[in-house]
A and B are shown apart, each in its own frame.
Chain A
C-alpha cells in the first residue's frame, strides 16, 4: 500500500470517528497530528492482529484475550471521568478540549491477565433472579448503555462497538 493511500484511509477514519464521537457526546483530541498518528496505528494493529487493538498497549494477538482493548477500549470512559482523557490521549473530555485542563500521560487501568480472568462474569451471580424479568438486561462494557431485549444489539447505538462487547447485566 502506498503512503498516500494510507493517508487517505487515515483521513476517512478520522472524519468518521470524529463525527460519531461528537454525535454521542465524546471528543477526539484536537491535536490533529497526534490523533491521526494514533488512528494510523490502530489501522496497523487491525492489519497485524485482525482487530484494532489499543495502540498504547501490548496486544496478545488473541482476539478473545483482547476484547477489552479494542478501540474504544473498556477503560476509556472511566479514564475520561477520572483524568479527562483515555489512556492513549485519543479521546478527551470537554474540559481538556476547551483547554481548561492539560492533557497528560495517565496510569494504566487495565487489570493484569490474571485479574481479568478472575473478574470475568462478575455480574452472573448478582442476587436478582434473572428469570423473574420478562427480558434479560444487557450492558455495553464500553459506555454502560443498557437495554432489555433477548439479545444485545448488533452495534451499540451509543458508542458503536459490536455485540461481542456486551455482557449480561441482569
Chain B
C-alpha cells in the first residue's frame, strides 16, 4: 500500500483513508494540517487493481462500511467521518 506522507509533529502512527474527490476528506486533511501532526494518507479512488484490493482489505479491518474519511490512530482505533471533536480530542 503506497502512502503519501505529511510531515509534522509526531503524535503516533496516523493513517488516513480518503478519497481525492470528497469534501469531508479534505476538511479532515485541513484539520490534521492545522493541528500540525505527522501523518500518512492514501487516496483510495486513485488506486487500481491489486493495490486497490490491498487498501480495501486493510480499511475493512477498521470500518466495514468502507466509508471515507477513516482515520486510524496507532493501529489501534479509528475515527470514521469528519468528526472534528474526536480528532481534536485525540490529537489536539
From A34, A56, A105, A107, contact of B21 by CB (8 A) = A56
CB within 8 Å of A: which B4-37 residues: 19-27
**A53 and chain B: residue at smallest CB distance:** B21
Per-position binary interface string of chain A over residues 84-108, scored 1 when its CB falls under 8 Å from any chain B CB and 0 otherwise: 0000110000000000000011111
Residue A152, interface by CB 8 Å: no
Residue A67, interface by CB 8 Å: no
The residues of B that contact A37 with a CB separation of less than 8 Å are 23, 26
* Residues A56 and B45 in contact, CB atoms below 8 Å apart: no
Partner-binding segment picked from A38-46, A125-133, A162-170: A38-46
CB within 8 Å of A: which B23-74 residues: 23-27, 44-45, 64-68
* Residues B22 and A55 in contact, CB atoms below 8 Å apart: yes
* Residues A56 and B83 in contact, CB atoms below 8 Å apart: no
* Residues A56 and B65 in contact, CB atoms below 8 Å apart: no
The residues of B that contact A34 with a CB separation of less than 8 Å are 23
Name the interface size band of chain A. Answer: 20 to 34
Task: Give chain B's interface residues, CB within 8 Å of chain A.
Answer: 19-27, 44-45, 64-68, 80-83
Residue A1, interface by CB 8 Å: no
Q: Which of B22, B26, B27, B81 has most chain A Cβ within 10 Å?
A: B22
Tell me the smallest distance from the CB of B43 to a CB of chain A, in Å: 10
Q: Given A37-B26, A89-B24: A55 and B81 within 8 A (CB)?
A: no
From A56, A104, A107, A108, contact of B19 by CB (8 A) = A56
Q: Given A55-B21, A56-B19, A56-B22: A105 and B65 within 8 A (CB)?
A: no
From B22, B44, B45, B83, contact of A88 by CB (8 A) = B22
User: How far is it, in angstroms, between the C-alpha of A104 and the C-alpha of B45 when the chains are bound?
Assistant: 23
Residue A57, interface by CB 8 Å: yes
The residues of A that contact B82 with a CB separation of less than 8 Å are 104-105
User: How far is it, in angstroms, between the C-alpha of A107 and the C-alpha of B23 when the chains are bound?
Assistant: 14
